[in-house]
Amino acid sequence: MSLKIYIDGKLYDKENAKISVFDHGLLYGDGVFEGIRAYNGTVFRLDEHIRRLYDSAKACLIEIPIPPEEFKKAIYSTMKANKQKDAYIRAVVTRGAGDLGLDPRKCPKPCIIIITATIQLYPPEMYENGLDLITASTQRIPSVCLSPRIKSCNYLNNILAKLEGIRAGCVEAVMLNDKGEVAECTGDNLFIVRDGVLKTPPPEAGILEGVTRNAVIELARKAKIPFKECVLTKYDLYTADECFLTGTAAEVIAVVSIDSRKIGNGKPGKVTQALLKKFRALTK
């Protein structure tokens, strides 16, 4: 059965799912998106994802042509059409088709795309053994230039940092902000554990405040794990007892080295393993 793709209220076979070459999402990255997971027929924290999608669109002056509740129903109907219970969902809203100029007024109607497929970001052995990371020289775009809270379709900044990681033999890379502080990785939020305290950069460090990140913070607080949002530097990463990443596709995954410095004992730590277990229980 061919995968069904939702575009502007209709379902198309994957092979026939097309948008205009004049769509400003293609021409300029002018659009917003969300990566969402469904587990056993239930979309994980859908309300939070849809709220962030609509907030991102509003910040870009893109008016999504359907209300949030209808968008949620469209996600579930697309999953149903594909006979899926477990899925990785990509919800995209572009500025729509216009012309070769930047002027958004030339795009009369935004385009909505919903893809419900599968994704395996990291193989199982990486969850068992942990990741090796580098620090990328490509920095996060300063918040005064572009708010990281807008989850836009323009990911070139992240892609350039990702390429640095790949060239170094790593699947992820740490990105710093313009102050040299730790922000996040190219597609995941970052946490460390030091002396039993769980730490992560605050939103003002230039991060996208992830839905999985917030779920893990809630789980840590319920488990009475000491926690704080605070500025982190490379030194804090190098001297951490544990380090892990969070993300919709990644869930919770340990980091065992950064820039050739071993983190802790070089194996996934106890807090990381406990939070991964709690998170997976949350999605059942």
Of 14, 73, 80, 151, which one is the catalytic site residue?
A: 151
pLDDT confidence of residue 119: 82
Single-letter residue type at 39:
Y
Q: Concatenated DSSP letters for 163-208?
A: HHHHHTT-SEEEEE-TTS-EEEESSSEEEEEETTEEEE--GGGT--
> What value does the CA radius of gyration of the chain take, rounded to a whole number of Å?
19
Nearest to 202 by CA among 210, 194, 249, 187: 210
**Percent of the chain scoring above 70 in pLDDT:** 100
- Work out the pLDDT band at 102, boundaries 50, 70, 90: very high
pLDDT in tens, 121-141: 799 999 999 999 999 999 999
Return the SS3 of 282.
helix
151 counts as catalytic: yes
CA 48/CA 235 separation, integer angstroms: 33
Using the predicted structure, report yes or no on whether residue 284 has a pLDDT greater than 90. Answer: no
* Mean pLDDT, rounded, for 60-71: 98
Using the predicted structure, report yes or no on whether residue 1 has a pLDDT greater than 90. Answer: no
- Work out the pLDDT band at 120, boundaries 50, 70, 90: confident
pLDDT in tens, 9-25: 999 999 999 999 999 99
pLDDT confidence of residue 73: 98
Contact 206, 183 (CB under 8 A): yes
pLDDT in tens, 181-235: 999 999 999 999 999 999 999 999 999 999 999 999 999 999 999 999 999 999 9
Phi, psi of 173 (to 5 degrees): -145, 140
Which helix (H) or strand (E) is 87 found in, with range? strand 87-94
Using the predicted structure, report yes or no on whether residue 144 has a pLDDT greater than 90. Answer: yes
DSSP state of 14: G
Mean pLDDT (the chain, rounded): 97
Using the predicted structure, report yes or no on whether residue 170 has a pLDDT greater than 90. Answer: yes
Integer CA distances (angstroms), 17 to 4, 9, 139, 186, in order: 8, 12, 35, 28
* Mean pLDDT, rounded, for 23-34: 98
Using the predicted structure, report yes or no on whether residue 145 has a pLDDT greater than 90. Answer: yes
Return the SS3 of 147.
coil
Q: Give me the domains of the chain, ranges plus CATH numbers.
A: 4-117 (3.30.470.10), 124-282 (3.20.10.10)
Stated pTM of the model: 0.95
pLDDT confidence of residue 199: 98
CA 111/CA 24 separation, integer angstroms: 10
* Mean pLDDT, rounded, for 260-280: 97
pLDDT confidence of residue 164: 98
pLDDT confidence of residue 58: 98
Residues 9, 15, 21, 26: what is their CA dihedral angle, to the nearest 10 degrees? 80
What tokens does 43 get?
A: 């979309």
